Structure 1
C-alpha cells in the first residue's frame, strides 16, 4: 500500500455511486483498473470519518479482504473486483445450501482475521461482499467497506455511541450504540446466511426488532441442519451467539458435513494473512 500527500491522477473514470460527502467511481490508476472513493465534503467530521476508514482498511492484509492500493488525504484507491456484489447476485434469486454456506464460510474466514486484528466490521451485508467473477464460492468472497468499523488499534473511535449500521443486518446491541463487540458481526453473518437462503432478511420490521417491540421472525430457510446455527447467531442475547467467528465456522462446517457437502479448503489463520495472489480486473 502506498501513501501520497497529493491527489493521484486517474484515467477512464466512470461514476458508480454518491453518498453524503463521498463519491465512488471506477477508473485506471498506474495502468490498472481501480475502484476509488473520493472525499467531496470539506468539514472536519467528514474528513475524520474518511480517514478512519482508510486507516482501518490499510491495516488489513487478507486474501478475502479488499485493502487499498493507495491512499491520499482525499482518495482511497482499491483494486477493482470484477463480478458484482452478493446483493446483485441475490437479486436473481436465493442461493442453494451449497452456495450459501460457501459464501458464509468465506465471510467468516475474513471475519476471523478481522477480529484477530482487533477490528469489528459493523456493516456486514450482501452489498459489502463482492463476488469475484460473480460466482458464489468461498474463495471468491471479497469483503469491502470499513466506513463503520471499530478498531482497537486506533486511539479514538469516531463513531462511539452512534447507531450506525444497516437496520436489517445490524445487531440489537449495535442499534443501542454498543461498539467493538465481535459478536455483533456474528449476528450480521447469521442474517447474511439467512438472506442467501431465503432471498430476504429475517425481520420484516427491522427497526421494531432492534428496538425490542417486535419479535416476529420469518421462518428459518434452508435445510434443518443449518437452523441451529442461524437461530443461535440471530439471538438478541449476545451470550447465546457463537463465542467467536472461528467457532461459528466450526458449526457451519459441521452442518455442511451433515448435508453431505464437501469440506472447504479454507486457509488456516496463520496463512490467511497473506495478500491475495489474484489481481481483480
Structure 2
C-alpha cells in the first residue's frame, strides 16, 4: 500500500454514488482499473471516519480481502473487482446448498485473517462481499468496506459505544453498543449464510429481535445438515456461538463433506 500526501490522478472516471460526504467511483490509475473513495467534505466526523477506514484497510493483506492500493488524506484507492456483489447474486435466486456453504466458508477465511489482525468487521452482509467474475465460490469472495470496523491496533475507536451496523445482520450485543467482539462477526456470517439459502435474512422484524421483543425466526433454510451451524451462529448469547471463525469454518466444511454426494458448489 502506497501512502501519498497529494491526490492521485484518476482517469476515465465514472461516479457510482455520493453518500455521507464520500464519493465512490471507478476509473483508471497507473494502468489498472480501480475503485476510488474520495472525501468531499471537511466535516470533522466524516474526516475521522474516512481516516479510520483507511487505517484499518491498510493493515490487512489476504487474497479474499480487497487490498488498499494507495491512500491520501482524501482518497482511498482499491483494485476494481469485476462481477458484482453477493447481494446481486442472491436477488437473482437463492443459492444451492453447496454454493452457499462455499461462499460462507470463503467469507470465514477472510474473517479469520481480520480477527488475527485484531479487526472485527461489524458490517458483514451480502452487499459487502464481492464475487470475482460473479462466481458463487469461496475463492471468488472479496471482502470490502471497513468503515464500521473495530481495530485493536488503533489508539481510539471513533464508533465506541454506538449502534452502527445493518440491523438484519447485526448481532444483539453489537446493537447494545458492544464493539470488538469477534463473535459478533460470526453471528453476521450466520445471517449471511441464511440469506444465501433462503433469499432473505432470518428476522423480518430485525429491530424487534434485537431489542428482545420477539424470537420470531423464519424456518431454517437448506438441508437439515446445515441447521446446527445456522442455529449456533444465530444464538443471542455470544457464548453459545462458535468460539472462532476457524471453528465455524471447520463445521461448515464438515457439513459440506456430509452433503457432497448430493450437492454441488455451483
TM-score (norm 1): 0.92
Q: Which residue of 1 aligns with 2:136?
A: 136
1:76-87 equivalences under 5 Å are 76-87=76-87
Q: Which residue of 2 aligns with 1:54?
A: 54
Instruction: Report the aligned-residue RMSD.
Output: 0.9
TM-score (norm 2): 0.97
User: How far 1:31 sits from its partner (Å)?
Assistant: 1.2
Q: Which residue of 1 aligns with 2:94?
A: 94
Q: Which residue of 1 aligns with 2:34?
A: 34
What's the secondary structure of 1:236's corresponding residue?
coil
Tell me, in whole angstroms, the C-alpha distance in 2 between the residues paired with 1:19 and 1:67: 22
Tell me, in whole angstroms, the C-alpha distance in 2 between the residues paired with 1:196 and 1:97: 9
Tell me, in whole angstroms, the C-alpha distance in 1 between the residues paired with 2:37 and 2:174: 26
Q: Which residue of 2 aligns with 1:217?
A: 217
Unaligned runs of 5+ in 2: none
Kindly indicate whether residue 225 of structure 2 is the aligned counterpart of residue 206 of structure 1. Answer: no
Count residues in correspondence: 262
Query: CA contact under 8 A between 1:98 and 1:261: conserved in structure 2?
Result: no
Tell me, in whole angstroms, the C-alpha distance in 2 between the residues paired with 1:30 and 1:38: 17
Query: CA contact under 8 A between 1:49 and 1:158: conserved in structure 2?
Result: yes
Kindly indicate whether residue 24 of structure 2 is the aligned counterpart of residue 24 of structure 1. Answer: yes
Query: CA contact under 8 A between 1:120 and 1:151: conserved in structure 2?
Result: yes
Unaligned runs of 5+ in 1: 263-281
Greater helix proportion: 2
Gap change, CA 1:97 and 1:70, over 3 Å in 2: same
User: How far 1:260 sits from its partner (Å)?
Assistant: 2.1
Q: Which residue of 2 aligns with 1:165?
A: 165
What's the secondary structure of 2:167's corresponding residue?
coil
